[in-house]
């Protein structure tokens, strides 16, 4: 299957600190990829470079064959890359439905009644249909995470980056969010999941990539990656 994302020899420095060095990563269309690594390993920097929050200093990033490394984040979103954030940032003065209508208008140019219909369908798909008219400020943590995913989906992405969507949730809530991500993947969306909850990573991922000190140290099937001595040393120390 063709690759939707190609990261080649990517490097990123902050002053004298090297956050990423020589990162090479190819992701197939429709793949479910888990990205793991200890704190400070470079996971967030890498997804920031992919999504456009940061520009890589070295190397190239191609999405669907197009070089995107110098494109701003909004241009990458319009090309099909969406990201959900660890800490949801809803528009608190708006209803849940209105929160989805913003990206529908911004990315897809959809407004008015058509936007409402599409937003309601997204909420139905994600299990929040009964909260459409509720104030976003009234949502629980798991409902906020679901709304964050729905807002990302409103951009009609082909690649979704899920950044710690399950942090702080209970076991059953983690399963709810996992079910949503797997359902979205079955609709053809490629997903990169960054997550510290290992049982969620193992259930979700078809392939696992581990970063440490800004470099990929292991890439393969989940069982072999978590059993890799280098990965275990990265998490546990020598």
Q: What pLDDT score was predicted for residue 104? A: 85
pLDDT tens for residues 131-145?
A: 999 989 899 989 988
CA distance 5 to 24: 11
50 pLDDT band, cuts 50/70/90, is very high
Long-range contact list for 40-44, CB < 8 A, 24+ apart?
41/210, 41/211, 41/212, 41/213, 41/214, 41/234, 42/12, 42/211, 42/213, 42/214, 42/215, 43/194, 43/211, 44/163, 44/194
Q: What local confidence, expressed as pLDDT, does residue 160 receive? A: 96
Position 237 scores a pLDDT of: 66
Strands of 51-157 (E only): list them: 58-63, 66-67, 81-84
* Nearest alpha-carbon partner for 60 in 71, 68, 52: 68
The C-alpha R_g of the chain, in whole angstroms, comes to 18
Predicted pLDDT at 133: 94
Q: What is the pLDDT of residues 176-196, one digit of tens each?
A: 999 989 989 999 999 999 998
CA 237 to chain centre: 27
For residue 103, pLDDT over 90 is answered with no
d(CA 170, CA 167): 9
- The stretch 163-169 carries a mean pLDDT of 87
- For residue 85, name the pLDDT band (cuts at 50, 70, 90): confident
- pLDDT value of position 20: 97
What is the C-alpha separation between 99 and 92, in angstroms, rounded? 9
Region of poorest pLDDT, from 4-13, 42-51, 167-176: 167-176
Q: What percentage of the chain carries pLDDT values higher than 70?
A: 97
The residue with greater pLDDT, 85 or 100, is 100
Separation of alpha carbons 207 and 226, rounded Å = 11
Does 115 or 5 have the greater pLDDT score?
5
pLDDT of residue 229: 94
Q: How far apart are CA 47 and CA 23, in angstroms?
A: 12
Q: In this predicted structure, which of 13-27, 66-80, 103-117, 120-134 has the lowest mean pLDDT? A: 103-117
How would residue 31 be classed by pLDDT, with cut points 50, 70 and 90? very high
Which CATH architecture fits 3-89+141-236?
A: 3-Layer(aba) Sandwich (3.40)
Give the residue among 146, 169, 141 at the shortest CA–CA distance from 96. Answer: 146
Q: What is the pTM of this model?
A: 0.91
Average pLDDT over residues 149-174: 89
pLDDT above 90: residue 3: yes
Spatial separation of the C-alpha atoms in residues 92 and 109, rounded to whole Å: 22
Instruction: Report the distance separating Cα 124 and Cα 134, nearest Å.
Output: 14
Q: Which of 133, 132, 74, 69 is nearest to 103 (CA)?
A: 74
């Amino acid at each position: 299957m063709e690759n939707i994302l190609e990261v080649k020899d990517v490097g990123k420095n902050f002053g004298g600190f090297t956050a990423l060095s020589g990162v090479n990563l190819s992701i197939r269309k429709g793949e479910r990829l888990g990205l793991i690594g200890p704190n400070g390993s470079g996971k967030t920097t890498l997804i920031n470079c992919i999504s456009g929050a940061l520009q890589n200093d070295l190397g190239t990033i191609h999405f669907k064959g197009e070089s995107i490394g110098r494109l701003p984040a909004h241009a990458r979103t319009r090309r099909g890359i969406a990201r959900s954030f660890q800490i949801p940032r809803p528009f608190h003065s708006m209803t849940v439905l209105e929160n989805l209508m913003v990206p529908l208008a911004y990315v897809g140019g959809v407004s008015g009644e058509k936007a409402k219909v599409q937003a309601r369908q997204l909420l139905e798909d994600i299990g929040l249909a009964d909260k459409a008219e509720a104030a976003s400020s009234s949502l629980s943590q798991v409902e906020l995470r679901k709304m964050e995913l729905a807002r990302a989906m409103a951009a009609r992405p082909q690649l979704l980056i899920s950044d710690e969507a399950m942090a702080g949730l209970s076991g059953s809530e983690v399963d709810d969010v996992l079910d949503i991500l797997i359902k979205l993947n079955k609709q053809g969306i490629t997903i990169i999941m960054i997550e510290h909850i290992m049982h969620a990573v193992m259930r979700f991922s078809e392939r696992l990539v581990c970063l440490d000190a800004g470099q990929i140290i292991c890439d393969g099937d989940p069982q072999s990656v978590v059993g890799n001595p280098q990965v275990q040393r990265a998490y546990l120390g020598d």
